Structure 1
Amino acid sequence: MKTVFQLGRRAFIGLVAGAALTMAAFGPAAAQEKIKVVGIYTVPIEQQWVSRIHLALNAAKERGDIDYSYSENVSNTDYERVMREYAEQGANLIVGEAFGVEKPSRAVAAEYPDIKFLMGSSLPPVEPNFATFDNFIQEPAYLTGLIAGAKTKSNIIGLVGGYAIPEVNRLMNAFIQGAKETNPDVKFLVTFINSWYDPPKAKEAAFAMIDAGADIMYAERFGVSDAAKERGVLAIGNVIDTSKDYPGTVLASALWHFEPTADKAIAEVKAGSFKAADFGIYSFLGAGGGSIVVDEKLATPESITIAKAKEAEIKAGTLKIEINDAEPKSTK
């Protein structure tokens, strides 16, 4: 049986109520008026991170809140051109990733001050129209670490990431912190494949770690869970729930929900109150931007109890998971 912690469901109910209040505050006209939202992605929409953005914007489209179009697999060298084309076509809100195109994306935004930009970024927002966000799911990553640390038998856990950047590092560090709390003897193997989407490369990196003794793999990238499944070890999912694709393999997953971020930005654009702010806070557990799902058949009962208690503390504000953006290192 797969368990989604109750607190995540309460947060979702709160978001629904908040959306109703937003509609009431803006009035029927504001609620019915559609805005043009564009997504510009450097990877396929199936990729974990982008899939959550795409899912949230599609949900807003299906509600009738926005008109939504997108471009995927846009190269960094072509990103600026695509941004300009959408800007010239009258987009109201452009959503995308600025990590590899910080300078050009900010330059385009400066040229179109009346268009709002909401971009995944490691750098600060810029007035008047360049807002930023990120998947700050270090809290659920920490909770999955608690589950993994209690489960490993070899006391070796492997972690395969895309790039050693803050957005990835903070999740791995939080996971490591949790694993150490339930198992002080656990060691870690860490590697980065220097790609956001290269499943074969991630799979090979995972195989090497499994050969070195890892019996649980932290799957920050696609391909890692495939290796875990083939070798009969367990995996920890990241951003999306892939347990249906890997039954009996995915022990737990830290999930990212972009809906709170997207809905907040859309409401502000409609209300004319959009600011160049950091929307990262809407990825926190307290905002409903993160959650954890656990396979009860695989996890130890004790670790589930511990993780639920820790989640309650995080939600109550009595436990804070520090954001550690330093590059994690292997300890084995």
Structure 2
Amino acid sequence: MSIQPRDNHFKVDRDNKAKLSNSEFSFICQFVYQTTGIVLNESKREMVYRRFTRIVREKKLASFSKYCQLLESNPEQEKDYFINAITTNLTSFFREQHHFDYLIQTELPNLLQTKKRQGNGKKRLRIWSSASSTGEEPYSIAMTLHSIFKNELSEWDAKILATDIDSNVLNKGKSGIYDQKRVEDIPQHFLEEYFYQGKAHNLNNVKVTSNLQRLITFKRLNLLNEWPMKGPFDIIFCRNVIIYFDKVTQQDLFARYYDLLAPGGLFILGHSENLGEFQKYFEHAGRTMFRKPV
């Protein structure tokens, strides 16, 4: 008696790229662009292949084309799952350290003194991490803010908005729980002040303190869609996300960020990004840092 396979699930042969046809790759690129504005080109084909393979396996489908058909017939039902699976979420605590050095040495002390002179009552401070991924960036901002304002923070209406298109990474950020290896490069005094060590079966994890979590609101946001927040923001982080959009979309997003920045507000890009033609509306404040004129 022979044993037959129980299903016809997707299997990968040695000729990986032959499994993802040009028409399927083109369909995926177009779907991602129309849904998120993110541009995928031939250089991303291997990345798309790897993630698409995982999607098809999880869905227990027989081929890439089957999932393309599913996306085409049920785009609203499938798009959140698909975008979560296909988008990149590379991040770390205090990534591009020079930005946080500038906050500590210049920007936050200046804001602290400037807003103190504005009169009585709670002083308002708003910071937006617009591609927050799993939360390392907004928590790095929160640690930096807390270290400068210290006990005075209770006198402030200070909030950090953390947004991302991927609901899975937002949930990770909300939890505030990270593997011990993720926090190895955080300065020791920050680790001691802002993290709890896990115990028992959580011994290899750490959790951020509640005073940091209270500063941050995590919200799902597709940058191409309507932005419900009104601003103004004193500081906006827009790092390592603009590179995934085409030039027209980039300039449109820069205009929208500009409108939400307070006069004198700071706009921060990633190390490989620039403002292009929109540079003329900003003043240069440092490496990939730009200030909206007062």
* TM-score, normalized by the shorter chain, greater than 0.5: no
* TM-score, normalising length: structure 2: 0.29
* TM-score, normalising length: structure 1: 0.26
